[in-house]
Amino acid sequence: MENLADFETSTVRERAASLTRGAVTAREKLERLFPFVRDDIAFGFPPGGDLVAASETLRLGYGQCNTKATLLLALCKTCGIPARIHFSLIRKDIQKGFFTGLAYRLLPEELSHSWIEVELEGRWRRIDTFINDLPLFHAAKRALRSRGWQTGYSLALGDGEASADLNLDHEAFQQMDAVTRDNGTWDDPADYYASPHYRNRPGLLRLMAYRLMIGRINKRVRALRLTAPA
């Protein structure tokens, strides 16, 4: 499998250059890249599942935790920001509300999940707050509270809070409270997906079901986003 964080492609290089034009420090560059990945790449489930290159996510304009992490990783690498992807397992109830009925039952109990770590000013910082675009984040947070849930709609509130901000100095997260197992850091997601640690590898039945149901699942994502406060 070729590298999915294809940071040397012209598509990724040109987008990174346009986003960071005029920025000098790694912090300044990251502050430009982050809102683009969070908001311009809307949250949604691509037909290719996790196995989507960064350049393809740019073309699609949407992605989920793993594909958006792949994109942010590639953009950081293009800009010379030391970055790595950190994989874990996460409870499947993180997607409760979007996946329902048979689609939810077909999910593994634990899903492979990732976030990004960047080395900034001598320290590695964890970032997962790019996963949900801002309108979806606010709508999901309100939906969870109205249902009395702590986890679902791609958020894990934990103590009742979550963040959609770039928190480099005071870490805050969107999904970390639902993480169950650490699978370490990887240079490229393709290496993890080829390893025995990867849990989202579907059999033929699950792959066919996913492709049949993904349109309806993404429709639920869009419908929830529309409920966000103006």
Which tens digit of pLDDT belongs to each residue from 56-90?
999 999 999 999 999 999 999 999 999 999 999 99
In a domain, 1, yes or no: no
Whether pLDDT at 156 is above 70: yes
Whether pLDDT at 115 is above 80: yes
What is the per-residue pLDDT for 178?
Answer: 96
Mean pLDDT of 150-168: 89
Domain that holds residue 170: 10-225
What is the per-residue pLDDT for 214?
Answer: 92
Whether pLDDT at 159 is above 80: no
- Contact in structure between 196 and 107 (CB atoms under 8 Å): no
What is the per-residue pLDDT for 91?
Answer: 97
In a domain, 185, yes or no: yes
In a domain, 152, yes or no: yes
CATH code, domain carrying 188: 3.10.620.30
Q: Check residues 49 and 62 and name the one with the higher pLDDT.
A: 62
In a domain, 5, yes or no: no
- Reference 166, options 112, 115, 113; nearest CA is 115
pLDDT digits (tens, 9 = 90+) for 171-208: 889 999 999 999 999 999 999 999 999 988 766 666 67
In a domain, 230, yes or no: no
What is the per-residue pLDDT for 206?
Answer: 67
In a domain, 120, yes or no: yes
pLDDT digits (tens, 9 = 90+) for 124-134: 999 999 999 99
For the chain, where are the E strands, in sequence order? 42-43, 62-63, 83-91, 110-120, 123-127, 151-152, 155-156, 179-186
What is the per-residue pLDDT for 107?
Answer: 86
Count structural domains, the chain. 1
In a domain, 214, yes or no: yes
What is the per-residue pLDDT for 170?
Answer: 86
In a domain, 135, yes or no: yes
- Distance of alpha carbon 27 from alpha carbon 59, whole angstroms: 26
